[in-house]
Structure 1
Amino acid sequence: MGKKSFQKIASTIRSHKKIFLAILIVFIITGSLISFLLINRYVVPADYDVSLSEPIYTSSNIPIGVAVEPYKLKSSENYKTLATTHFNSFTPENVMKMGPIHPQEGEYNWEDADFLVEYAENNSMQIHGHCLVWHEQLPDWMENYDGTSQDWKNMLKLHIQTVVNRYKDNITSWDVVNEAFLSHDYRDTIWYEHIGADYIKYAFQWAHEADPDASLYYNDFSLCTNIPKLDFTVEKLGELIGEGVPIHGLGFQAHLTSQSFKYDIIVDAINKVNQLGIDIRVSELDISMNLLGCYQKYTDYICKKQQEFYSDVVRAFSKADSLTGITLWGIHDAGSWIRYFRGLDWPLLFDEEFNPKPCALSFQEALIQYT
């Protein structure tokens, strides 16, 4: 660029110096504002001192539950205190799944499940059974089972009815079948492969035979966010209910994320299920705030967003014609399955030190207002 060009630019700036000064000021302010927002979002840690004056469950007319592990109830006083103080319903996180409870053909491991049932009864708490049929956490002998389709049906029936019969005086509701559907089809599981789609129908019928008084649920994930999957689920459940299959409710797992949380979509999903005339449970609630791994600490920004989300999820599910419970999938952030499988996150109501987070208070306030 030559001397004349510089002189021309300088002359232009002198002629319009007020405009250029204004632009410079805006640039500085905007840049500072962006920097402030970025710092607040990613750097400034959440600073809170929350006190819950009453147990969370007392704020609602429906059961407010939590998924628990017996070994944690035995080993952690803080864990046990929160579980029994703030919740009035337990869901076994793992110990009633097929692998843990039925490790060998013809042999059942009742120890942990019995402990949990007895512990709940001693503390005047309900138990929601989870889960009778799933394609994950299977014992080796089931995965390698060799037999005809009828043999597979006999094996599955025996498992379901043995477990339900043992706890028919203690457990009043069950997740019977877990995660059987995809967006437009049945999930290709070991049960689908060897028995066919009717394994779902049989499972509910067999559970109902074992305990006619129990409420029986189908349970699945992404029903709040994946519209095609929700529609397929509603379609298939509607067909089964129309055939007289004893399906009493649908469990929305509600493993939500800050990226996927959309209040209106959740309400639309609930309205579709309402048309089936069955109960709705929020069966496995947590709200991931760090799915993409952008945060290294629980910041003020995500703390406030999480407060909004926990309030809105209660508000959304209050649209259910028959909401029969809300269960958190874990007690505190450090023990969440999300940290184990995905990495650093803060999805639950209590922090690493077992202290209530602001979202615990917003959740409780929403329960008071909407349930």
Structure 2
Amino acid sequence: MKRRQILTVGAVTAATSLAAGGAASAAPPGNAGPPGNAGPPGNGERTPPGLAKKDDLAWAAGGEIEIGSAVAGGGHHASQPYPPPFTDDETYRELLGQEFTSLSAENQMKWSFLRPERDTYAFAAADAIMDFARRHGQVVRGHTLLWHSQNPAWLEEGEFGPEELRTILKDHIDTVVGRYAGHIQQWDVANEIFTEDGALRESENIWIRELGPGIIADAFRWAHAADPQARLYVNDYNVEGVNAKSDAYYALVQDLLADGVPVHGFSTQGHLSIRYGFPGGLVENLERFADLGLETAITELDVRMDLPDGAEPTEEQLAKQADYYWRMTEGALAAVGCTSLTLWGFVDTYSWVPVTFEGQGAATVMWEDYTRKSAYYAVQDALAQASGRAGHPALRR
């Protein structure tokens, strides 16, 4: 398989070779999203894309790949000492619209957020993201439909029989996917369904435990019926390279395809830590799924580091982090069939990492004051090299 040709430079070079500032130019366009809280989407017409400066990630990507970010909100953010990021932080919104061509709801499309009660759908926050994406010419990834985590208590603790539980899932997929039909580019349909040794999460995942493995195929079929245009993905962490877990997905996808199930993509999340070595075999792994006819993506990239007792990152840690960001970006660009690279947030202020991993943090590409880290320039430089924009005067110091 012929790979894209990329001029490779080191992350340390990347951290010092890109300039700030520059005139405005049009960012790569995305598909239109629905209006805000007024109800279901309209006719899906495109609107003019937002403007990206000539040193931003969207401009550096140059249409070579979708460069995305998770939209902060819901989840751990509700317990943090700051107002809701997406609605109350003007700088955050400006950069979210300017730097990226793709958006993912961090929590706002998960079951726990969308379904506070069985008969209640809370669409306002998700609709607002869709409206923002439409106005900024961005595509959207939907996340997620079938998962073992972040489910509401009424679902996990309810005494539902198999047929009723099946109806609940189908109604959810029909309603949520159908609401945004024609406006969401990719959906994470089955999320984190395997353990590290490649076994199905039968005890943890209410859907698989109560309805059997066949519910995975049903979820894909229902999602496709609700939105035939959306590309439907399996998505997980620790599947960057070839290992027991990614092998399980490889076998599952082959079985699904053989049964005519509409699965279109495989994605690795990319939650990395510099505590561990960089995962090997990224391009090889992505391309074996591409050889099956699937698209691939990196969907939740961040790179955390150990910061015990509130320590500040060292230069060595920051350089290693930048190198990991560089290598993940380069891998996404090198792998034939990889359509998008999404950062799981871009500013440390709103990162999930310190809340989830005690004593770890600084995982994103920007400091809390929105100044850029070496990691930002590593991503930017890799994108610019691939798109042929690395020689532009705005990308020189």
Q: TM-score under structure 2 normalisation?
A: 0.77
Change (3 A) 1:273 1:48: closer
**1:310 alignment partner AA:** Y
Aligned equivalent of 2:71: 68
Q: Within 2, Cα distance between the matches of 1:271 and 1:164?
A: 28
Q: What residue in structure 1 maps to residue 97 of structure 2?
A: 84
1:95-119 deviation digits (Å, cap 9, x = unpaired)? 1101110111121111111111111
What does 1:1-371 align with in structure 2 at a 5 Å threshold? 51=20, 53=22, 54-60=55-61, 61-69=64-72, 71-182=84-195, 183-188=197-202, 189-224=205-240, 227-262=243-278, 264-290=280-306, 293=308, 296-342=311-357, 343-370=359-386
Letter in 1 for 2:69: V
Report the number of matched residues.
Answer: 325
Contact 1:79 1:331 in 2 (8 A): no
Cα-to-partner distance string for 1:33-72 (whole Å, 9 max, x where unaligned): xxxxxxxxxxxxx999973652201222211110013531
Contact kept in structure 1, 2:65 and 2:340, CA below 8 Å: yes
Q: Distance in 2 between matches of 1:325 and 1:226?
A: 20
Describe the SS at the equivalent of 1:264.
coil
How much has 1:317 moved relative to structure 2? 2.3
Q: Secondary structure at the match of 1:347?
A: coil
Find the structure with the greater CA-based Rg.
Answer: 1
Distance 2:276 2:126 in 1: 34
Aligned sequence identity (%): 31
Tell me by how many angstroms 1:273 deviates: 2.2
Question: What TM-score do you get using the length of structure 1 for normalisation?
Answer: 0.82
Higher relative contact order (CA closer than 8 Å, sequence separation 6+): 2
Q: 1:339 to 1:49 in 2, by over 3 A?
A: farther
Greater CA drift, 133-142 or 91-100: 133-142
Amino acid at match of 1:213: Q
The one-letter amino acid paired with 2:109 is M
| Structure 2 Cα separation of the partners of residues 368 and 237 of structure 1 | 33
Residue 187 of structure 2: SS of its match in structure 1? Answer: strand
- C-alpha contact (below 8 Å) 1:270/1:319 kept by paired residues: no
SS state at 2:93 partner: helix
The one-letter code sitting in structure 2 at the alignment partner of 1:138 is N
Pick closer, same or farther for the CA change 1:269–1:169 going to 2, 3 Å: closer
Alpha-carbon distance in 2 for matches of 1:47, 1:127: 32
Residue range with higher mean Cα deviation, 296-305 or 212-221: 296-305
Which range moves more in the overlay, 144-153 or 119-128? 144-153
Q: CA deviation at 1:276?
A: 2.1
Unaligned runs of 5+ in 2: 1-14, 23-54, 74-83, 388-397
Aligned to 1:3: none
Q: Please give the per-residue CA displacement for 1:342-361, whole angstroms capped at 9, x wherever unaligned.
A: 13421111112111112111
Distance in structure 2 (CA, Å) of the matches to 1:120 and 1:330? 16
- 1:350–1:52: structure 2 CA closer, same or farther, 3 Å change rule? farther
CA-CA distance at 1:270 after TM superposition: 2.1
Report the 3-state secondary structure (helix = DSSP H, G, I; strand = E; otherwise coil) of the residue aligned with 2:361: coil
Supply the distance in 1 between the matched residues of 2:117 and 2:329 (Cα, whole angstroms): 41
| Contact 1:95 1:101 (C-alpha < 8 Å) held by counterparts | yes
Runs of 5+ unmatched residues, structure 1: 1-45
Residues 242 and 261 (structure 1), Cα distance of their counterparts in 2 relative to 1, 3 Å cut:
farther
One-letter amino acid matched to 2:313:
Y
Question: Match for 1:171: what amino acid?
Answer: I
Distance 1:50 1:302 in 2: 22
Q: Which amino acid aligns with 2:292?
A: L
Q: CA deviation at 1:295?
A: 8.1
By how many angstroms is 1:305 displaced? 1.5
Name the CA shift for 1:144/1:83 in 2 (closer, same or farther; >3 Å): same
